[in-house]
Amino acid sequence: MNWFRDFLLPRGASTLVGETDGLFLFITLLTVFFFFFNGALILYAVKRWRRRSEKEVTPHITHDTRLELVWSLIPLVVVMLIFFWGFRGYVKAWVAPNESMEIIVTGKKWVWEFEYPDGTRTLNDLHVPVNQPVKLVLTAEDVIHSFYIPEFRLKRDAIPGRYTELWFTATKPGIYQVFCAEYCGKGHSDMLARIFVDTPEQYETFLREGDEQVRKMPLKELGRLVWENKGCATCHSLDGTRGQGPSWKGIWGHKQRGADGKEYQVDADYIRQSILAPQAVVVEGYQPIMPTYQGLLREREILGVIEFIKDLQ
């Protein structure tokens, strides 16, 4: 049975998994059973009663109340069972325990932003301690997004102008994929985030200094990581193709013409300003759509981006 479950479902890593997977497997078996049951009946009928002559006469059977009751009532009982089973799991996933840690999640085209109780903010990477109930309060800035963590069997829409909630207790340390499940335009399929389920010590360190990767990595690599993970990649290419924003290739040391008609030298200060106050200078021909990263990147990460761009000649 386990290989079957592992074939159909991603590994489970929250307290809700058991309940949901149990029901999932039950309905799967039901489906497989009825498919083969109906298939066998049809096959049997076709083999046994295949027409051999046009003169064949068939019995005139219009109905059979007893049989019909049986095949109405059995499905009825089975579906009611499924209803209650599914409802039980949903209720369990409904109300967050009081001791939950609360994190505010904002979806916007095409990044996920997380805000922790202590004010730390991160983009696309969410750190949570293992075995601790966590409540996510979801909202969106532009259109509807949906926060989906397959390994936790959880999903909830993030809706502009509203707050929705989702809670979980992660049971295994590790890294888990988050998808945006509600179609939201061009970058929908790149609107990915990761949940790092940390041991308590790892989590403390994270709150103080950012995650380990970030602390130790060479600057240039860190810059690439920021580009990949913090949403830069949805608008800025590395190979010179035009996106929602200017490509980063070969801009270092050159001049960019701003929408105001002035020329700006691309240097460390210019890049820093473009990250923290993107509307201050908008390159000619582009929309002022870039969000500010003020408070979202650590100092070291900004340095990393500068080094990374320097290298893209």
Partner 1 sequence: MSEGVLHAGAGHAVQHADYLEEPRGLWSWLTTVDHKRIGLMYMWSVLFFFLVGGIFALLIRLELLTPRQTVMDAETYNRVFTLHGAIMTFLVIIPAIPAALGNFALPLLIGARDVAFPRLNLASLYIYWTGAAMAVATLALGGVDTGWTFYTPYSTTTGGGVSLMVLAAFVLGFSSIFTGVNFIATIHKLRAPGMGWFEMPLFAWGMYATAIIQILATPVLGITLLLIVMERVLGVGIFDPQLGGDPVLFQHFFWFYSHPAVYIMILPAMAVISEVIPTFSKKTIFGYKAIAFSSVAIALLGFLVWAHHMFVAGMSLFAGAIFSFLTFFIAVPSAIKVFNWIATMWRGSIALEAPMLHAISFLLIFTIGGLTGLFLAALSTDVHLHDTYFVVAHFHYVMAGSNLIALLAGMHYWWPKMFGRMYNRRLAAIASAIIFVGFNLTFLPQFVLGSRGMPRRYFNYLPQFQDLHVVSTVGSWVLAAGLFLTAAYLLASFRQPKGMPANPWGGRTLEWETPSPPTTHNFEGQPVLQHGPYDYRPEPAPVGVKEMAH
For residue 245, the minimal CB distance to partner 1 (Å) is: 15
For residue 295, the minimal CB distance to partner 1 (Å) is: 24
Contact 109, 162 (CB under 8 A): no
Cβ-based nearer residue to partner 1, 183 or 311 = 183
Lookup result for tokens 């068939």: 58
Cβ-based nearer residue to partner 1, 8 or 280 = 8
HSE, side-chain direction, 13 A CA sphere, residue 53: 3
For residue 73, the minimal CB distance to partner 1 (Å) is: 9
Identify the three-state secondary structure at position 38.
Answer: helix
Shortest CA distance to 168 belongs to which of 147, 143, 184? 147
Number of Cβ atoms within 10 Å of the Cβ of 153: 22
Cβ-based nearer residue to partner 1, 159 or 217 = 159
Q: Torsion angle, CA of 95/96/98/102, rounded to 10 degrees?
A: -140
Cβ-based nearer residue to partner 1, 56 or 118 = 56
For residue 96, the minimal CB distance to partner 1 (Å) is: 13
For residue 301, the minimal CB distance to partner 1 (Å) is: 24
Q: Give the type of residue at 98.
A: N
Q: Classify each residue of 8-30 as buried b or exposed e, where b means 16 or more C-beta atoms within 10 Å of its C-beta.
A: ebeebbbbbbebbbebbeeeeee
For residue 118, the minimal CB distance to partner 1 (Å) is: 27
For residue 71, the minimal CB distance to partner 1 (Å) is: 4
Cβ-based nearer residue to partner 1, 30 or 259 = 30
Q: Considering only the C-alpha atoms of the chain, give the largest distance between any 2 of them, rounded to a whole number of Å.
A: 93
Contact 223, 309 (CB under 8 A): yes
Cβ-based nearer residue to partner 1, 160 or 173 = 160
Cβ-based nearer residue to partner 1, 17 or 303 = 17
Q: How far apart are CA 144 and CA 180, in angstroms?
A: 10
